[in-house]
Structure 1
Amino acid sequence: MGLSSTIAWRYLFSKKSHSAINIISMVSVCGVALTTMALICTLSVYNGFQELIASLYSTLDPDIKIEPIKGKTFDISDTLFTDISKWENIEVWSPVLEENVLLVYRDKQMPALMKGVSDNFGQLTEIDKILLDGNFMLRDSIVGYATIGVGIANQLEAGARFVHPLQFYTPKRNVRVNMVNPAASFNEGNLFVAAVFSVNQQEYDDQMVIVPLDFARKILDYTTEVSAIEIKLKPGADISGMISHLKEVLGDSYTVKDRMMQQEDSFRMMQIEKWMTFLILAFILMIATFNVIGSLSMLIIDKKENILTLQSMGADDRLISKIFLTEGCLISAIGAVIGLVLGITLCLLQQHFGLLRLGEGTGAFVVDAYPVELMWVDVIAVMGIVSLLGFLSAWYPVRYMRSKLL
């Protein structure tokens, strides 16, 4: 430890002639510590909710999704796609066809998003884990089946194993509307409801109905076309590397998305909220560091006689400035370390034991305790902003001292 650091450390813990300086110094340390702890905990909670939402989406969203840039559909019979489906790291290759339809069940109707899937859809997703009623199936030897979201089931008052079929209506392609008989301009199909699922996400629960791919093609007047290809990779496969390879092979005509990109709007909004909260708390931290400026300014005045003694012993202005600059940085550093330790400890306790609960009972929410995910990039970001503000709060009064007192 250098001379300036030794003197600064003794000044920090020595008894001052005015007790208010000690009190302000402790308040400064506590202010920095509490704000640092709040930053760590808040960012970790945002990370937890993001991981929770990602886990909910992952039950239906594939590892990778290929979609056309232009138009709604593309022809999967191209040999290019046949070759890609045989790649080593691909475990499940599933074409899908999505389109808006009108659902009618007895005397009720509503628009919905129909998703036609192939027979291996159950291997691609974890749909069995989110079923509220019934069993996922696409067909048996007699009829075809649909799996609907819980919101659709509530609105249509339909459910698994109900005796009445679910009716699908879509406009015929390349056909003008018959004003005399509008019903003739629509394709119609019927499926029985096999299961009801719940992802706890509105865009799925209130809009999606999963049907056999051949049924979707039939009522949409398609043959080999699909709207997307969904891919599940083998365990341990490099997703980013696979996406880069697919983009290189497919060219500019297709988009290749991972799970985050498939729900880009939702995750982008969460990231914006997270870092806006970070900036707000950083502003509160900046206000807390004003105490450091006041504490250091009063300490400089209190130690004026010591400054004269040091000067008479040969200390130059640079050494004296460095002493008080180190003093201010120590106040911020001690507060930051205490805040980091408290914040990380609280996050780890919540992450492993769920001390802070959501509601009084269990089952009312998707999770029983606030989700927390501690990420070291957030810790580094907090350390960076605390260090920067701590240095500036120490530099300003020292700069003033050099211009006025030395």
Structure 2
Amino acid sequence: MSFPFYIARRYLFSKKQHNVINLISGISVVGVALATLAMVCVMSGFNGFQDLIGNLFTAFDPQLELVPTQGKVMAEDDPSLVAVRRNNKVAAATNSYEDNALILFKGRPLVITLKGVDDNFTKTSEIKNILYGQGQYLLRRGNLNYGIPGYNLALQMGGLNFGTLQICVPKKGEQINLANPIENINVDDLTASGICFQVHQQKYDDNLMLCSLPFVQGLYNQEGCITKLELKLKGGVDEQVAKKELQQLAGPRFRVLDRYEQHEETFNVMQIEKLFAFAFLTFIVLVACFNIIGSVSMLIIDKTKDISTLRHLGATNKQIVHIFLFEGWLISFMGAIIGIVLGLILCLLQQQFGLLKLEPTGGGNFIVDAYPISVHVLDIVIIFFTVIIVGFLSVWYPVNYLSRKSMDLQA
């Protein structure tokens, strides 16, 4: 143990001549601890919401998705896509075609997203786990095409048994004739299946209509074309390793996306919000560290005689300055440790008992009753070093200045 650190530790825990110094030191530790606790809880809260949304996406979205790098459609019999489907890491593959369409329901036009899938869709997604209603999962039977709407879309159409819908899309490569728009529009019918799905995401529940792939391809005049190839990997296969292998197999004309990349915009917004919250809380830690400056400043005044004694015993000016720098660092360290421990305890209690409810009165319509919490080890490490660095930097200049001034007065 170095000499300055030993003295700083003794000063931190020993009784001072003025009790107010002990009080200020205690307040400094508490201030840093509370700021650290807030950082742990807020960052874990952001992680909880991100993990919650990620879990919701997995109920509908594929594990991996292959899309063209240029344009919107690709040939379903493309050799690269065939090679991807035959890869030994792929358990199932689904061809899908997704685009906007217009439905006419009782004379009311409504823009929706039409998603056509083949028979393997139930193997690449968990669609059957989020279905509601008395009907069965069925997209096509004979000449009839069935549509499965999102929950909120079904509500807009008056319920699950909406009868038959007219689906309208512009003909490919043609401009709308305003005098007679029907000439440039493809129209076909979808029949109610008696069921709907609910993902708890507006993107799906409000606008998406699920139907068969041949129906959508014919409606858009895109026979043999798809917009996505959705993949499910075999059990035990590392997703990121498989993603790299499939990307090499697909080539530069295609992109292989995992679930987070499929919703990159949503998660980027959440990351930006988390970053701003972290910066704001770091500023609060900096404000809390001002108490450390006051504590160390009072300690320097209180230990004026000790400084003189240490100089006569051979301590250098640098060692004396380091004593008070270590004093400030120890206060930051104690505050960080206490704050992280208390923060982790609060997070654990929230996870187990849901102390903080999303809707205290119980009248809300939320996916979960309490705020979701997810503690990430990397976040805890970053918070710890942030508090330590901010605490050290905040006292570095004041301690250097006050220590040298005190020694100059004694000289």
User: Shorter-chain-normalised TM-score: which range?
Assistant: over 0.9
1:309-347: CA deviation from partner (whole Å, max 9, x where unpaired):
222222222322222222111111111110010011111
Moved more, 74-83 or 87-96: 74-83
Partner of 1:99: 99
Give the SS at the match of 1:31: helix
Per-residue CA distance 1:376-401 (angstroms, 9 max, x = gap): 11011101111111212332233113
Aligned partners of 2:375, 2:82: CA distance in 1, in Å? 42
Counterpart in the other structure of 2:140: 139
Q: Which amino acid aligns with 1:382?
A: I
Instruction: Give the match for residue 263 of structure 1.
Output: 263
**Aligned-pair CA distance for 1:363:** 7.4
Work out the CA distance in 2 between the residues paired with 1:94 and 1:155: 29
TM-score (norm 1): 0.95
SS where residue 252 of structure 1 aligns?
coil
| Inter-partner Cα distance in structure 1 for 2:221 and 2:233 | 31
For residues 26-57 of structure 1, give each alpha carbon's deviation from its aligned partner in whole angstroms, at most 9, with x where no partner exists. 11000000000000100000000000111111
Aligned to 1:383: 384
Secondary structure of the equivalent of 1:373? Answer: coil
Q: Match of 2:30?
A: 30
Q: Return closer, same or farther for 1:177/1:39 CA change in 2, 3 Å cut-off.
A: closer
The question of whether the paired residues in 2 share the 8 Å contact of 1:293 and 1:396 is answered with no
Q: CA deviation at 1:217?
A: 0.9
Task: Report the CA distance between 1:118 and its aligned residue.
Answer: 0.5
Q: Which residue of 2 aligns with 1:336?
A: 336
1:72 is matched with: 72
Q: Which amino acid aligns with 1:193?
A: A
Q: Distance in 2 between matches of 1:127 and 1:313?
A: 78
The residue aligned with 2:402 is 401
Alpha-carbon distance in 2 for matches of 1:313, 1:180: 101
TM value normalised by structure 2: 0.94
Is 1:288 the equivalent of 2:314? no
Distance 1:33 1:184, change over 3 A: same
Counterparts of 1:168-187 in structure 2, within 5 Å, are 168-175=167-174, 177-178=176-177, 180-187=179-186
Q: Kindly indicate whether residue 210 of structure 2 is the aligned counterpart of residue 189 of structure 1.
A: no
1:34-92: per-residue Cα shift (whole Å, max 9, x none)?
Answer: 00000010000000000011111111111111111222211111233222211111111
CA distance, structure 2, for counterparts of residue 177 and residue 310 of structure 1: 91
Deviation at 1:362? Answer: 8.1
| Cα drift, residue 109 of structure 1 | 2.5
TM-aligned CA deviation for residue 192 of structure 1: 1.4
Amino acid in the other structure paired with 2:51: E
- Structure 2: how far apart are the matches of 1:329 and 1:178? 75
CA displacement 1:87-122 (0-9 Å, x = unmatched): 111111001011111112233330111000001111
Question: C-alpha root-mean-square deviation of aligned residues, in Å?
Answer: 1.8
- The equivalent residue for 1:152 is 153
Return 280-289 or 324-333, whichever deviates more.
324-333
Offset of 1:175 from its aligned partner?
Answer: 4.2
Q: Which ranges in structure 2 are unaligned for 5 or more consecutive residues?
A: none
* Aligned counterparts of 2:204 and 2:399: Cα–Cα separation in 1: 59
SS class of match (1:324)? helix
Distance in 2 (alpha carbons) for counterparts of 1:247 and 1:141: 38
Q: Determine the C-alpha separation between the residues in 2 that align with 1:94 and 1:100.
A: 20
1:299 has 2:299 as partner: yes
% identical aligned pairs:
41
CA contact (8 A) 1:109 1:156 kept: no
CA distance in 1, matches of 2:173, 2:392: 69
Q: SS at 1:17's partner residue?
A: coil
Residues 349-364 of structure 1: pairs in structure 2 closer than 5 A: 349-359=349-359, 360-361=361-362, 364=365
